[in-house]
Amino acid sequence: MNQKFIIKFEQGILEQSYKLAETDVTGGVNGIFELLDETFINQVLSNFINMRTHFIEAYNRCE
């Protein structure tokens, strides 16, 4: 896909995507898996909590 790796996380209606140029990743696909360590995954989960909170707040403003 245009010499990019796309990492996508989904949780319910929410989605987070990260795009990396192939040239920025050492070791190809294995390099991607090295990037996805426990700290990164925990930050992604925290982002989902914030995203859900912001979405609910915006939804409630429309009522």
Q: What is the pLDDT of residues 24-43, one digit of tens each?
A: 999 888 999 999 999 999 99
Half-sphere exposure of 43 (CA within 13 A, CB side): 6
Rounded Cα gap, residues 16 and 60, in angstroms: 22
pLDDT of residue 63: 81
Rounded Cα gap, residues 63 and 60, in angstroms: 5
Rounded Cα gap, residues 5 and 19, in angstroms: 6
Burial of 63 (0-12, 13-18, 19+ CB in 10 A): exposed
- Entry pTM: 0.83
**Side chain identity at 3, as an amino acid letter?**
Q
